[in-house]
Chain A
Amino acid sequence: MTVADSRRVLKPYPRSGRWTEIEAGHLLRRAGWNSGPDEMRRAAAEGLEATLRRVLNTQAETTEFTQASDLLYRVARETGEIDNLKAWWLYRMVNSVNGLTEKMALFWHNRFATSYAKVRSVEHMADQHELIRRHALGSFGQLLRGMTQDVAMLIWLDGNANRKRHPNENFARELMELFSLDVGNYTERDIQEAARAFSGWHVRNDVFWFNRLQHDDGQKTVLGKTGAWGGRDVVELCLSHPACPRFLARRLYETFVSRTVPETALEVLAHRVEVHKYQLRPVLGELLGSELFFADEARHALIKSPLDLVVGSLRGLEVRPNLDNVVRVLRELGQDLFEPPTVKGWEGGRMWISSATVLQRANVAAELAFGEKLGQPAEPLQVLKRFEVEGDGEICGHYARMLLGRQPSEGLQRRLVDFYSEVQGDRSAKVRRLLHLIMTLPEFQLM
């Protein structure tokens, strides 16, 4: 490694660094969908390296899980009902041991945002989803290549466009703007030329069909390179453009670390993306084990998406969910799987928060705490027994730490204890009240 290279490495989180349930929770929330208290405890005991290995490498699922997932998937494809496909994916998010795969599947779904509302075929949406899953932690290059021939994507981007008016210019534009380079790294001319390269990329009888007769095989200049480019070539030109690793690095950083992306961090991460040739698993391994991932600036820096909030809570409270109601709640909160609002996906971040959604989130907390429509949480008294938590102060501290991922401030702890002692009901009821309160706090919206 040259001196220059050694500066362009993500400094790993030191072995001597603090590693408690707090740090473990931070990793498990970000790299998956949160975890129940047992897993937090185990991760804290095992250490960062072992936990990271577990997070990154595909673990075997239980037989029960596999059977349930397969059944739900079959039901979805056979009934052709999109809500069934949503329920299937949700089941996986809530129950899978491979949370990072599910998280990356969502990441890609958001990047290549395609909506059932326009595609109107569960089969095509599921096929696209399978393509995503195949490459979720694999090669971005392979995924991008596959996406450009994916039927759902082709339908979605043609949309209702009049075929006489350059349908593929839209395709070429989204490819560069949204899928690989970001605005500012290509010109309108690049799009026009790229569109020529994609001429003949059609869908016929519900499959991708290269219509040779419609293809313009003349010389084209795209991103500074001239040749008789076809669609595949344009994809390669995008992938080899220096803006592409930065594009991917930025999205990964914003998803896993923080929406504030310092240039130095971006540069290093983009370099790592390049070094690893767009392979996600090693890049994520370096990112999730890095010092900057565990730095103060990264803690509690992300606003939970509806999925983070709901699925995270279901897992954290060990709820057996009513999937249909969960799908409904997610829609109300603004994140309807397989139906992103526009081709730009879910903007996320502060855009999840409005007065309406704050109230909705608070009311979801109520539903979860008091075990109504979304499913029943694990009996609090059992949980407390397992963790040998006794007094009022201990109980408040335990749940605050578990749910908020941090030690509560003095002021907060005092309020929680006061509330807990004053609230009426038996111990189980009091704890549920406490859960409700904690999940309504602004802190709970952060991860």
Chain B
Amino acid sequence: MECNRRAFIRRMGTAGLISTSGIAPAVWSRAAAAAGGSAADRILVLIQLAGGNDGLNTVVPFADDAYYRARPGIGIPETSVLKLNDTLGLHPQMAGFQELYDEGRLSVVQGVGYANPDRSHFRSMDIWQSARLTVDGSLDGWLGRALDRSIDRHVGTVPAMALGNERLPLSLVGHKVIVPTIRDLATYRLQLGPQPAVNGGLFRSTIGAYVEEQQSGERQLEFLRQATDAALTTADSIQQISQEYRETVPYPASDLADKLKLVAQLISGDLGTRIFFVSLGGFDTHAQQQQSHQALLGELSSAVRAFSQDLKGHGHSDRVVVATFSEFGRRVAENGSLGTDHGAASQLFVVTPGQQAGIHGRHPDLNQLLQGDLRHHTDFRSVYATLLERWLEIPSQPVLGQQFPLMDFI
């Protein structure tokens, strides 16, 4: 029903991030992984920009008059943009991303979308998350399917986590794997009961010793014993992480930064999780776009920058790729309320360890619009295929239903 959806979007916009219950997952038995560079070590962090990010004001084609003609009110002046090259510049609030670009770690992937774009948030988000252009009843996500298919590789671990979401994002919904959601590390601990100082230790040591020692001939029981043993051990590790972790750079004070810091801690804790999903909401900027959009881009840029520096400080840079996505871009022409309406194609960012960064794909022609929207030239599933195959080493064709051409930002 319409009113429910509007309320939902509003909630997502103002609250930004919805906290949830949940406990951090933990590793079961870590497969001995080759030191660095092995697919088993690689991590993908996805940042959903919920609401439909205005890509045109994020990476600005400042050399194109058509841009300023379409956006007399909200266009970003050439003097303000953070230039990436002769024709494109970042929104002025994205200094962090400019630094990443200068370091050769930021890829801007342009013209991303899909055929017959749907301008409904839910429908389009379902399309991006399920990687299916026709959403049928199966309602699973591309990462969920990828995890189901690679289940042998991560039996026992929790291969993916969503942070700060009420409901598990569709991307991560699979048929076999359960992906948990986390709010914070503090909740991931074994409850010891009232007055833990008095009896907590005895409880912990009793259960700990039992699951460690008491092997059983019963298959199901043995499975559960091992699961419990691993869970307890990892709860300890997580508590240790949360006490001992020292960020190597200060994180900005923002929800996204808090979440990415949590991700950094979990990566450091070596728990075997390979995919992290966080969400930043509020991008549905129909009116008075400038202020809210700049705040969001600032939050995105500074949080990701701090995150990447912190990872570097802990020696994890080489293992982590960060990618953003949004359900659609926004219309080229501004509307009457100094905002923009739902559009189609847009750009997305990928932060990679390697030096293949840069601008990928040409900017869609502002004079060749599709009903007022940018035309896509790159199917978003090519981006997914690249992330799956080149980074996570999971064959993409069975997950996406067909083979999409791989890109070279990785």
Contact = CB atoms under 8 A, between A and B. Distances in A.
A binds B: yes
Contact of B137 (A174, A303, A341, A415): A174
A393 to B, nearest CB: 16
Contact of B158 (A301, A331, A356): A356
A284 B172 CA distance: 37
Nearest to A365: B191
A350 interface: yes
Interface residue SS majority, chain A: helix
Nearest to A445: B224
B355 interface: no
Interface in B132-177: 134-140, 157-158, 167-168, 173, 175-177
A362 B230 CA distance: 13
Contact of B178 (A331, A344, A357, A432): A357
B223 A436 contact: no
Nearest to A164: B134
Nearest to B28: A355
B207 interface: yes
A347 B175 contact: yes
B235 interface: yes
A353 interface: yes
Given A341-B173, A441-B210, A120 B1 contact: yes
A415 B214 CA distance: 11
Interface in A312-363: 328, 331-332, 334, 341-344, 347, 350-360, 362-363
A355 B25 contact: yes
A115 B168 CA distance: 14
A257 to B, nearest CB: 13
Interface stretch (B84-92, B194-202, B292-300): B194-202
A157 B25 contact: no
B231 A358 contact: yes
Given A156-B137, A342-B173, A359 B27 contact: no
B137 A157 contact: yes
Interface residues of B, number: 60
A165 B132 CA distance: 13
A342 B134 contact: no
B180 A356 contact: yes
A342 B198 CA distance: 45
B220 A355 contact: no
Contacts of B122: 160
A441 B214 CA distance: 11
A360 B21 CA distance: 10
Contacts of A353: 223-224, 227
Contacts of B140: 342
Interface string A390-426: 0000000000000000000101100100110011110
Contacts of B230: 355, 358
Contacts of A268: none
A437 B140 CA distance: 37
Given A159-B135, A446-B224, A354 B180 contact: yes
Contacts of B224: 303, 353, 442-443, 445-446
Q: Chain B CB within 10 Å — which of A331, A341, A354, A443 has the most?
A: A354
B206 interface: yes
Contacts of B180: 354, 356-357
Contact of A437 (B175, B188, B198, B203): B203
A419 B202 contact: yes
B220 A303 contact: yes
A156 B138 CA distance: 10
A164 to B, nearest CB: 10
Interface residue SS majority, chain B: loop
Interface residues of A, number: 64
A378 interface: no
A441 B25 CA distance: 19
Contacts of B206: 415, 418-419, 437
B371 to A, nearest CB: 18
A372 to B, nearest CB: 9
A300 B218 contact: yes
Contacts of A409: 214
A250 interface: no
A300 B194 CA distance: 31
A357 B210 CA distance: 19
Interface string B207-218: 101110010001
Contacts of B177: 351
A433 B190 CA distance: 14
B234 A412 contact: no
Contacts of B193: 366, 369-370, 432-433, 436
A358 B227 contact: yes
A276 B382 CA distance: 53
A51 interface: no
Nearest to A169: B136
Q: Chain B CB within 10 Å — which of A359, A423, A424, A433 has the most?
A: A359
Interface in B204-254: 206-207, 209-211, 214, 218, 220-221, 223-225, 227-228, 230-232, 234-235
A418 B22 CA distance: 33
Given A347-B176, A437-B207, A118 B136 contact: no
B278 interface: no
A437 B207 CA distance: 7
A443 B221 contact: yes
B178 A351 contact: yes
Contacts of B139: 115, 118, 159, 342-343
Given A160-B126, A411-B214, A443-B221, A362 B190 contact: yes
Nearest to B136: A170
A302 B220 CA distance: 8
Contact of A412 (B28, B123, B210, B228): B210
A328 B232 CA distance: 23
Contacts of A382: none
B46 interface: no
Given A357-B178, A359-B235, A159 B198 contact: no
27 contacts: A115-B139, A157-B137, A159-B136, A160-B122, A161-B136, A302-B220, A332-B23, A343-B138, A344-B138, A353-B224, A353-B227, A355-B157, A355-B227, A355-B231, A356-B23, A356-B24, A356-B231, A359-B23, A415-B206, A419-B206, A424-B198, A433-B193, A437-B207, A441-B210, A442-B225, A443-B221, A443-B224
What are the 3 A-B residue pairs with the smallest beta carbon separation, nearest first? A442-B224, A355-B26, A358-B231
